Amino acid sequence: MYFDIAEFKPEVGFEFQFSGKGHKGENYLHLCKITEVIPGKKLTYSWRYDNYPGNSFVTFELLEEAGKTRLRLTHEGLETFVTDNPDFARESFNEGWTYLITKAIKEFVEAVE
């Protein structure tokens, strides 16, 4: 789905990593550390790349809205990444997060039900 790790713990301080491919097949090691947890409501973690400058923060929030649950995702700090690599461009992140929210999570939830 989003990342494949053996064991995930939604606890502040928990560190995890996963690999992802760039547009030309480059392999990027993502290094993440959970910085905030509000059970059932919010999860924030740092997101950086091994051997590249920059650090950002990803937040998933669940919000009650008219009897339904809305998922809000924010990714802050993209401006800290290198600007001469298209894989770190805002558009690249938008594309990835849009896929995750509109397709991958929906398919995962429907498969579990």
- Span 87-111, average pLDDT: 89
Whether residue 88 contacts residue 77, with contact meaning beta carbons closer than 8 Å, is answered with: no
Whether residue 23 contacts residue 86, with contact meaning beta carbons closer than 8 Å, is answered with: yes
Query: Which pTM does this prediction carry?
Result: 0.88
Which helix (H) or strand (E) covers residue 15, if one does?
A: strand 15-21
Distance CA(67)–CA(71), nearest Å, equals 13
To the nearest whole number, what is the mean pLDDT of the chain?
91
Whether residue 9 contacts residue 20, with contact meaning beta carbons closer than 8 Å, is answered with: no
Residue ranges of the domains in the chain?
15-112
Say whether pLDDT at 91 is over 70. yes
Class of domain 15-112: alpha beta
Chain centroid offset of residue 72 CA: 12
- Span 109-113, average pLDDT: 78
